[in-house]
Amino acid sequence: MSDREVARRVFAREFNDSNLQQGESIDRSPNFIVTPVGVICNRVFIVGVMTEVENIGGEGQTMHRARIADPTGVFTVYAGEYQPSAAVFLSTVKTPAYVAVVGKARVFNPEKDTYYMSIRPEEINLVDEYVRNRWVYHTALFTLQSLRNMERALESGLKGAELERYMRPFTIDSAGIARAMDHYPLAPDRMDVYRRMVMDALATITDAAPPQETAGDGMALAIIEDLIMRLDRGDGVSYEALLEASQKLGYDEETVEKTLNSLMDGGRCYEPRIGILKLI
Amino acid sequence: MDDSIAPIVDELNRALGIDRDTLERELTLLIVDYKVPVEEARRSLIKKHSKESLNPGGEDAGKKANDPSIKLLKDLRNGDTGVTVLANVVEPRYRDITTTRGNVTVINGMLEDSTAKLHFTAWTEAPLLFSGRAVLAKNVYVNSFHGMPSVNIGEKTTLEEFEGGVPGYTSRRCSLSELSESDGAYDIEVEGDVVSIRPGSGIIERCPVCSRVMQKGQCRAHGRSEGVKDLRIKAIVDDGTGSMISVFDKTLTRALLGIELETELESGEVENIEERLKIALIGMPFVIRGNVTRGDYGRILIATRAHRPMEDIGKLARELMVSLK
């Protein structure tokens, strides 16, 4: 069983600046692209705002092209007949919308020196603003780490196989870094450009709202309902016993009361005697 | 790895050429377990290793065999032998088990240090394990038990009471890349995004005899019978460093899905369950606590708790920007 490719987190600008492919010659082996900061990606996970969907299919075939913006640029996603569920999603989604995409990185190279980067979706789904903000933050962390690796590589003065060996203890991208150093033009301010990109991306989420409390409610509901079921030996559960068990799982009295109220409102639990709870 | 450790590992690895695992282990022991100041830990390692690299082999090798360094529990691998560990003994108890050589009484329980908690079995009488103190166990061996590494205390093991006290274990946050290379782990936590829902998620039927999942009303061990309905999710969780199949039982499934969808699912009237699960979960981040077991089908994260991350992203972003200025 071969290992599943990890879904890399990269910003649109770094992704779109890529024009280096790796591994295309071997049959059935995955295709990789190497970004200018040496990240080797086959599968990517991106979250952004879907701003536009176009049906660009010709006669009798469907092909959707969607644009997904992050703070640094725009990802292009293509879905055709071999991505049926993504195609259904794209034909019904209303823009703008926060979406998450898991997919494979593709390079289209119609003529010399012209490269179009895109993503072929495996999964696509609606998410919310919190998920997007969290993705920007985590992608910033990953990108900063890649930039640090790249700086270390530059400082070493090494190249090729020697550089790859030197970088191996620090990152899974050692091969990518060695290839990127060879392939991409090395302007001295290059890493600064991407560092600024990360800072600008972070600046867009500094006043992000904390996640809404309601996100946790479903969790409390399910867990407390489950506790009532487990603790019930036939004649219900006392409120005290339930509270004690809930507190062990990290729920305070207020949450327990609130949750019990919504369970009762929802007709899922009742109070046969005062202070005794039972599921319906 | 602790933040203060990584730079020293880098530095000493370059300066002295000592392998990174050894450095990380020794530094963690000094800094995390023994709370030695960082600078002092660095100094003592430089001293120790520069001496070692000056000493010619023979004598040095002999000394090492008598004084093997202590291994952190998180670094134990199936098949390790002659290992020394320093750990707290948690909930030891006698148990009668049946083996190929007849019935024996063993001592079962858990061992913990600050990096991991593992199951152990003592095959010989060892009252010291009940002393309530930490033990220094020399010459233990490691094998797989329930898909996780387990420490075995045998006849060749020597046990010493350790007066100093060892910091206990609280569920450790791990990257999926670390777990993808482990032989299993007990009570760890990961944070990742759901990137795929596997077949066999949703309403399933279990064999009433053995609880195996049944295919088309058939159990592969007990044949056809009336299955017991159950609810579970098998999802692939990816944190950007690695990915792993994660299994959520009925309680967690309903917790993740919300009561409405779960009620609908149980009514048996939902069409296209897989699609509904995907809509509820794909792309969503979760903090998952549980055990990683390593078996015939690879590694699986068996979730015991899960919740949406609730971090204040705005605050984290501001702090990160300040640290970069």
The pLDDT value given to residue B60: 40
Query: Does A111 lie in the same domain as A1?
Result: yes
The pLDDT value given to residue B90: 93
pLDDT tens digit string along B195-248? 999 988 888 889 998 888 888 888 888 888 888 888 899 999 999 999 999 999
Cβ neighbours of residue B314 closer than 8 Å, sequence gap 6 or more: A133, A205, A206, A207, A208, A209, A210
- CB-based contact A102 B283, cutoff 8 Å: yes
Q: Which of residues 240-269 of A touch B (CB under 8 A)?
A: 249, 266, 268
The pLDDT value given to residue B59: 39
Query: Does A166 lie in the same domain as A255?
Result: no
Query: Does A268 lie in the same domain as A153?
Result: no
pLDDT band at A230, cuts 50/70/90?
A: confident
| Three-class secondary structure of residue A94 per DSSP | coil
Q: Which of residues 160-199 of B touch A (CB under 8 A)?
A: 176-177, 180, 193, 195-196
Query: Does A230 lie in the same domain as A153?
Result: no
Q: Which of residues 249-308 of B touch A (CB under 8 A)?
A: 251-252, 254-259, 262, 275, 278-279, 282-285, 298, 305-308
pLDDT band at A213, cuts 50/70/90?
A: low
Query: Does A205 lie in the same domain as A89?
Result: yes
Nearest alpha carbon to residue A178 among A167, A194, A164, A199: A164
Residues composing chain B:
325
Counted domains in chain A: 2
pLDDT band at A177, cuts 50/70/90?
A: very high
Ranges of CATH 2.40.50.140 domains, chain B = 73-162, 172-313
Query: Does A123 lie in the same domain as A183?
Result: yes
- CB-based contact A138 B240, cutoff 8 Å: yes
Within 8 A of B318 by CB-CB distance, chain A residues are 206
Q: Is the pLDDT of residue B56 over 70?
A: no
- CB-based contact A125 B242, cutoff 8 Å: no
Average pLDDT (A143-170) is 93
- CB-based contact A208 B196, cutoff 8 Å: no
Query: CA Rg, chain A, in Å?
Result: 25
| Chain B nearest CA to A209, separation (Å) | 7
Helix A160-167 vs helix A129-156: crossing angle, to nearest 10 = 120
Higher-pLDDT residue of A184, A252: A184
Query: Does A49 lie in the same domain as A176?
Result: yes
Query: Does A187 lie in the same domain as A57?
Result: yes
Average pLDDT (A79-86) is 89
pLDDT band at A25, cuts 50/70/90?
A: low
Tell which of B13, B21, B171, B195 to mutate to test the A interface (max A CBs under 10 Å): B195
Average pLDDT (B134-158) is 93
The pLDDT value given to residue A259: 85
Contact B265, B203 (CB under 8 A): yes
Q: Which residue of B lies nearest to A225 if distances are taken between CA atoms?
A: B251
Within 8 A of B257 by CB-CB distance, chain A residues are 218
Please report where in the chains the tokens 């199951």 appear, as a residue.
B119
pLDDT tens digit string along A249-258? 778 888 888 8
Average pLDDT (B281-290) is 95
Tell which of A128, A138, A246 to mutate to test the B interface (max B CBs under 10 Å): A138
Q: Domain range for residue A226?
A: 214-279
Does residue B121 sit at the A interface (CB-CB below 8 Å)? no
Amino acid identity of A264?
M
Provide CATH code, domain B172-313.
Answer: 2.40.50.140
Assign a CATH topology to domain B73-162.
OB fold (Dihydrolipoamide Acetyltransferase, E2P) (2.40.50)
- Write the burial class of residue A228 (CB in 10 Å: 0-12 exposed, 13-18 middle, 19+ buried): buried
Higher-pLDDT residue of B54, B124: B124
In this prediction the pTM is 0.79
Query: Does A262 lie in the same domain as A150?
Result: no
E strands, chain A, are: 7-8, 20-22, 32-34, 40-41, 43-55, 63-70, 73-80, 97-111, 114-126, 237-238, 269-270, 276-279
Of A243-257, B103-117, B298-312, minimum mean pLDDT range: A243-257
CATH, residue A259: 1.10.10.10
Q: How far is the first Cα of chain B from the last one, in angstroms, to the nearest whole number?
A: 24
Query: Does A227 lie in the same domain as A202?
Result: no
Query: Does A201 lie in the same domain as A101?
Result: yes
The 10 Å CB-count burial string (b at 16+, else e) for B82-108 is: ebbbbbbbeebeeeeeeeeeeeeebbb
Handedness of CA A144, A149, A155, A158 (dihedral sign): negative
Query: Does A230 lie in the same domain as A171?
Result: no
How far is residue B262's CA from residue A264's CA, in Å, rounded to a whole number? 17
Token pair recorded at residue A148: 């640090």
Omega into A84 within 30° of 0, i.e. cis? no
Nearest alpha carbon to residue A52 among A11, A93, A8, A107: A93
pLDDT band at B40, cuts 50/70/90?
A: confident
The pLDDT value given to residue A15: 97
Single residue among A178, A211, A244 that ends a domain in this structure? A211
How far is residue B142's CA from residue B151's CA, in Å, rounded to a whole number? 5
- CB-based contact A218 B255, cutoff 8 Å: yes
Query: How large is the ipTM?
Result: 0.82
Single residue among A174, A190, A211 that ends a domain in this structure? A211
Q: Which residue of B lies nearest to A219 if distances are taken between CA atoms?
A: B255
How far is residue A157's CA from residue A165's CA, in Å, rounded to a whole number? 13
The pLDDT value given to residue A59: 79
